[in-house]
A and B are shown apart, each in its own frame.
Chain A
Amino acid sequence: MSRTFTSILTLLFTLLFLALAGPARAEPIRVVTSIETLADLARAVGGGNVSVEALARGYQDPHFVEAKPNLLVPLSKADLLIYVGLDLEIGWLPPLVQGSRNPRIQAGAKGNLDASTAIDVLDVPAGKVDRSQGDIHPRGNPHYWLPPVNALKVAKEIAARLKELDPSHGADYDANLQRFGGLLKSKSADWSRKAASLRGLKVVPYHKSWTYVSDWLGLREMGYVELKPGIQPDPKHLAELILRMKAESVRVLMIESFYNRGIAGQAADAAGAKLLVLPSDVGATAKIRSYTDLVDALLDALLAGAK
């Protein structure tokens, strides 16, 4: 009995020693991101000096990730946490950050990066905000990472933060950012050509999460399947929406790949429109492995739907 107790104590002290000794070794900067697109951007600018892990998968709804305790493991070791912000992850990330016991990534610390600080926020509600409007994001629309201009702004913000955390590799982060900018520039002719042929396309999104994409591509959002964000639409609203879609000859109903397609599919059928299932994050499908893959897949899907 006492021998067992002694060996348990020895084990605990060994583990405690390892915990305290751990951070002394020279290791890559450990970056944890909420969504996979941010992980790809962090890999692009971090290069070989960082290790990157995303908490949510690209085929998950980023509003509703389960705060599983195993997610605390990477967070407890992270040097930098990058998240979308604007309350997108409010339902699951705060208890994980607190539960991680990691002072480096708490709010206000250098290792806590709210990526939305890098971009110009759209859909900031004016006037009184309350939940009769549904699951509204009171500080603006958090679905901003798809347009390339925003992705580059976020990448630049990540590079700046990595330089602060790891000044000895500052030149690497600068060079990686320039290389990522070059990659985007190499795609800009193709993307712009595709964007031009989508301009003015009438669409109805399922959730109000395409504002930034519509702003970039010049899509005309004619209504939403969700009358109020996050609230299941009622039949009266759907009937009105279908009539409006017919009257305006809207041919495209957009929905993220992770949503339930039941109601959206019925609405699209009734209105004679196509239900376009679109990727919104790296990892949405197995083929989308990087940010540029994501934009390519999105534009191709929209073009196919616009025909």
Chain B
Amino acid sequence: MVSFFPSAVLAGLLAQASPAGTATVPSDSNDLSKQFDSILTAPTPPSQSRKTQGPSGSGLMNPDVSVIFDGVAGAANRPRASSAGDDPDFGGPPAKRTGGFAVQEVEVGLQSTVDPYFAANVFLTIPNLQGIEVEEAYAVTTALPAGLQVKAGVFRSAAGRQNEQHLHMQDFTLRPLLNQAYLGADGLRPPGAQVSWLLPLPLFLRLTGEVLSVSPGVSPTFGGGLRSSPTFLGNIKTFASLGESWSLFFGGTVAAGHAPPAGIAEGSTLDSNGPRTWLAGGDFYLKYMPPNRVANYFALSLQSEYFWRHTLAAGTTAAMTDAGFYAQIVAQLARRWHLGARFDQLGIPASSIQAKGDRISGMAMFTPSEFSRLRLQVQREKVDAGSAIYEALLLLEFSIGAHGAHPF
């Protein structure tokens, strides 16, 4: 260790001894030195009682409030074959042109810590101006030991990657087809509880277990069980940082529950368990972004998810297996510009409830700031032997208020 004191003394002497011709220099030097001394000798108040810099957001005890709006103008030669709950809905009879304006979703977010033990997030959404939905409302622990965290309430399940993300986190205006084909029109977000464990390892490895009460009619895969037969889900996620610029985030999901009878209405009551059904999936997200991203604003990401479903035979239902995936690439080409393409494929193999179908989408996005974006998306969808459905969508999204930052 270098001894600092002699040089400090020497510097002090030099400063004192400087000739009068450079008068401003020694006085400044003394000033800086004196300022250091006064800081060092000032009494230190206990740090817990120090001033804070004032509240952020709207007030001291109010939760952070945010609103995210997604409005769309679109046109299509026919209505889509299937839509997610938060896809823009233009309505209209089948096989006729459709389009116009739609308010795809308005999301109101309320986020706050509850007490020293819990944080809470409530997200209310109004998709297509059709009444208020509780997209998420849950408490999450903040003080459990050993890398454990418990979430309880209604929350987006850890079933793959896109399901956990809200609409405004998606790179495309419509969710991938496998969302509604395997998880549900609103994704998989039933009431339930989740325990996740961040393993004490030198790499990121997270195990998640969930117990979920899926109501009949909200999911094509689950929700065929009695209220005493919940759906179980397990997920593993890991992350590899390949140098400073490349990130690889991938995960696997397995879920087990009971399949609902075909065509069951939302809110129906069941008097026996449907056939046991299994869902397995994998997701992967590869991203290239240099650590100094503002230097040239080039970034690239690849994302893909796959789901496989197997339902056992029961009563009048035959056993069936089906699967689907999507893959997308998004490139940031300039500070405000992104381009992307996605390919969706369902029915590989097809089953009695899932026909073969595919969709190709392309998008160009302009982001004036972090709080607004315009996105033009065009897509071509084909289901079974039906004719192609072409659609163009122009999205305006804005975010106001204090909206918490999102995980990777």
Docked complex Cα distance between A39 and B296 (Å):
27
The closest CB in chain A to the CB of B24 belongs to A196
Question: Using an 8 Å CB-CB cutoff, how does the interface string of A94-106 with B read, 1 for contact, 0 for none?
Answer: 1100111101001
Interface residues of B in 167-195 (CB under 8 A from A): none
Question: Using an 8 Å CB-CB cutoff, how does the interface string of A53-81 with B read, 1 for contact, 0 for none?
Answer: 00001011100101111101100110000
Docked complex Cα distance between A64 and B332 (Å):
15
Shortest CB–CB separation between residue A200 and chain B, in angstroms? 12
Partner of B292, one of A61, A67, A117, A182: A61
Contact: B405 with A152, CB < 8 Å? no
Shortest CB–CB separation between residue A206 and chain B, in angstroms? 11
| In the complex, chain B residues whose CB is within 8 Å of the CB of A94 | 404-405
Partner of A181, one of B40, B241, B289: B40
Contact: A107 with B113, CB < 8 Å? yes
Contact: B199 with A189, CB < 8 Å? no
B51 within 8 A of A: yes
**Stretch of B72-80, B141-149, B344-352, B380-388 contacting A (4+ beta carbons < 8 Å):** B141-149
Docked complex Cα distance between A77 and B241 (Å):
19
Docked complex Cα distance between A7 and B388 (Å):
51
Docked complex Cα distance between A19 and B200 (Å):
6
| Residues of chain B having any CB pair with chain A under 8 Å | 4-5, 7-8, 10-12, 14-15, 22, 24-26, 28-29, 31-33, 35-37, 39-40, 44, 46-48, 50-54, 56, 113, 116, 119, 140, 142-149, 198-204, 206, 237, 239-241, 244, 247, 249, 289, 291-297, 335-336, 368-371, 400, 404-408
Contact: A188 with B36, CB < 8 Å? yes
Contact: B4 with A179, CB < 8 Å? yes
Docked complex Cα distance between A87 and B39 (Å):
25
20 A-B residue pairings within 8 Å (CB atoms): A20-B146, A68-B247, A69-B239, A73-B203, A95-B407, A101-B148, A103-B145, A121-B53, A131-B400, A135-B369, A152-B36, A164-B47, A177-B40, A178-B40, A185-B11, A186-B11, A189-B29, A193-B29, A232-B335, A259-B295
Contact: B53 with A16, CB < 8 Å? no
Docked complex Cα distance between A114 and B4 (Å):
29
Q: How many residues of A sit at the interface, in one of the four size bands? A: 35 or more
Docked complex Cα distance between A23 and B83 (Å):
50
Contact: B143 with A106, CB < 8 Å? yes
| In the complex, chain B residues whose CB is within 8 Å of the CB of A103 | 142-145
Contact: A92 with B36, CB < 8 Å? no
Contact: B405 with A95, CB < 8 Å? yes
Partner of A260, one of B11, B148, B296: B296
| In the complex, chain B residues whose CB is within 8 Å of the CB of A16 | 146
| In the complex, chain A residues whose CB is within 8 Å of the CB of B47 | 113, 117, 157, 160-161, 164
Question: Using an 8 Å CB-CB cutoff, how does the interface string of A3-33 with B read, 1 for contact, 0 for none?
Answer: 0000000000001101110100000000000
Contact: B40 with A188, CB < 8 Å? no
Contact: B54 with A139, CB < 8 Å? yes
Q: A116-B53, A117-B53, A193-B29 are in contact. Are A70 and B204 (CB under 8 A)?
A: yes
Docked complex Cα distance between A94 and B111 (Å):
12
| In the complex, chain A residues whose CB is within 8 Å of the CB of B295 | 258-260
Beyond contacts A66-B247, A103-B145: 19 other A-B pairs, Cβ-Cβ < 8 A, are: A15-B199, A60-B291, A60-B292, A66-B408, A73-B201, A85-B53, A92-B405, A95-B405, A107-B113, A117-B51, A118-B50, A156-B39, A183-B4, A186-B11, A188-B11, A196-B24, A196-B25, A260-B294, A260-B295
Partner of A69, one of B10, B48, B204, B289: B204
Docked complex Cα distance between A177 and B368 (Å):
46
| In the complex, chain A residues whose CB is within 8 Å of the CB of B336 | 232
